[in-house]
Amino acid sequence: MTDGLSRTAQVARDLIRFDTQNWGGGRSSGEADAAAYVVGVLAAMGVESQTFEPAPGRASVVARVEGTDPTLPLLVVHGHLDVVPADASEWSVDPFAGEVRDGCLWGRGAVDMKDMDAMILVALERILAAGKRPRRGLVVAFFADEEAGSELGARWLVRQHPELFAGATEAISEVGGYSVEIAGRRAYLLQTGEKALQWILLRARGTAAHGSQHMRDNAVTKLARAVADVGAHEFPVELTDTTRALIARVAELLGVDDGDADAVAERTGTVSRFLRSSLRHTANPTMLDAGYKHNVIPSVAEARIDVRPLPGREREALDAIRAIVGDDIEVELVHGDIGIEHRFGGELVDAMVASLGRHDPGAPVLPYMLSGGTDNKSLSEIGIAGYGFAPLRLTPDLDFAAMFHGVDERVPLDALDFGTDVLEDLLLTY
């Protein structure tokens, strides 16, 4: 214990104190200092690592740990070191101070995902300090640039250095294995799928003119109409194998019929924001850019839309956006990535369920599809099946969904310790 904190909380706090904000477009505080810290923690437990820096400051760390059974395929255990930006003026605490308050560790990255980074390091540290080894060999990776599409992190590594992952067939990472309360009962969501990703640009063109003129060909007006139409559009519910199984299990816990999937998901409390988003395509306007002076009508106006299609339905979602905005609006795909979906079964899923069961007996484990995305998308390019398993036992009063990219991001201290215990168990037994 340090300052009354467990080892996992200490490491997570240290990582939060590194400003690794990633604004996208190549603009970043950089991950190099956090990466150097990770290298030091690994070295102290006798694990050699390699650091890769495709651009100045954009550092990723990769290491291999030998397992007790060399006949088994390797498992990739990975996290990312960058975080989305935080506006300190909106927060109750300094987002990079790693403050402990009300039984929680606060700061940008507390749940996305420096908590898991710390859990990985400490679980491995414990195993090796006890003179043990994980059952199967591990590729342990801490990537840069996940929050901006992974072009300088996981995607760069799988394309430039695929040999780093040779022998690995599966991976675990963030946003899965956490608890929710359904009908007064604690259950865990194990992430077996991720929606696809399309960051698109809407562009309207019009006539540049003085702001005092009577003008019908106004680019800003055209764009505003298109953005409003996209933001207000409700895509229909379309279930996949994962979400069909999820809704059936949730309905069973609630004691209701599963015929209306949206209504079932809505009854799960704050986590419904995650679950309802997984039942359909979504498209949310996130940025606007137009004009340069108050009294000048600009000739071009642009908006950025975050589109998350269901896996394998990327073209369908983009066609739907084009139909919504009409022929007057240009639609440009700025960045796209695939969706992934795996069955809720097999040796790894069974092992994750069993590890949770040993530390929280009787709590059901349900499959779910992440409405966002992780670096598992990049690993899928080289045939590695990725799952979300950053186990956390949470209290019902914490709005966990609001923690991701939100203000006052925080994680309970005891959840960090629970997650480390479960992760250590999984690495020793799988």
The residue written with tokens 């199967």 in the block is 136
Query: Would the pLDDT of 1 be above 90?
Result: no
The residue written with tokens 């402990």 in the block is 100
What is the mean pLDDT of the segment spanning 204-233? 95
Return d(Cα 192, Cα 2) in angstroms, integer. 36
Catalytic residue numbers read 82, 147
DSSP code for 2? B
The 3-state DSSP class for residue 290 equals: strand
Give the pLDDT band (50/70/90) at residue 146: very high
What is the mean pLDDT of the segment spanning 298-314? 95
Query: Would the pLDDT of 92 be above 80?
Result: yes
For 187-218, the DSSP string reads EEEEEEEE--EEEEEEEEE---EETTS--S--
Name 52's bridge partners.
60
> For 346-355, how does the pLDDT look when each residue is reduced to its tens digit (9 = 90+)?
999 999 999 9
DSSP code for 310? P
pLDDT for the residue 245:
95
Q: Taking a C-beta distance cutoff of 8 angstroms, is the pair 125, 11 a contact?
A: no
What is the mean pLDDT of the segment spanning 221-225? 96
Query: Would the pLDDT of 121 be above 80?
Result: yes
Query: Would the pLDDT of 345 be above 80?
Result: yes
What is the mean pLDDT of the segment spanning 319-324? 96
pLDDT for the residue 382:
97
pLDDT for the residue 422:
98
By percentage, how much of the chain surpasses pLDDT 90?
A: 89
310 closest CA partner among 364, 376, 371 = 371
Q: What is the greatest pairwise CA distance in the chain?
A: 79
Give the pLDDT band (50/70/90) at residue 2: low
β-strand 138-143 against 60-65: which pairing, if any?
antiparallel
Kindly give the interhelix angle for 347-359 and 413-429, rounded to the nearest 10 degrees.
Answer: 130
pLDDT for the residue 396:
86
> For 179-205, how does the pLDDT look when each residue is reduced to its tens digit (9 = 90+)?
999 988 999 999 999 999 999 999 999
426 HSE (CA, 13 A, CB side): 31
What is the mean pLDDT of the segment spanning 296-317? 95
Buried b (16+ CB within 10 A) or exposed e, 340-366: bbbebeeebbebbbebbbeebeeebbb
Query: Would the pLDDT of 84 be above 60?
Result: yes
Kindly give the interhelix angle for 7-16 and 413-429, rounded to the nearest 10 degrees.
Answer: 110
How many Å separate Cα 323 from the centre of its chain?
Answer: 29
pLDDT for the residue 122:
98
Give the pLDDT band (50/70/90) at residue 402: confident
Greater confidence (229 vs 271) lies with: 229
Degrees to nearest 5, angle at CA 230 with 206 and 277: 155
What is the mean pLDDT of the segment spanning 152-158? 96
Query: Would the pLDDT of 3 be above 90?
Result: no
β-strand 74-80 against 385-388: which pairing, if any?
unpaired
> For 60-78, how does the pLDDT look when each residue is reduced to its tens digit (9 = 90+)?
999 999 999 999 999 999 9
> For 408-423, how does the pLDDT look when each residue is reduced to its tens digit (9 = 90+)?
999 999 999 999 999 9
Whole-number average pLDDT of the chain: 95
Q: Which amino acid is at 233?
A: H
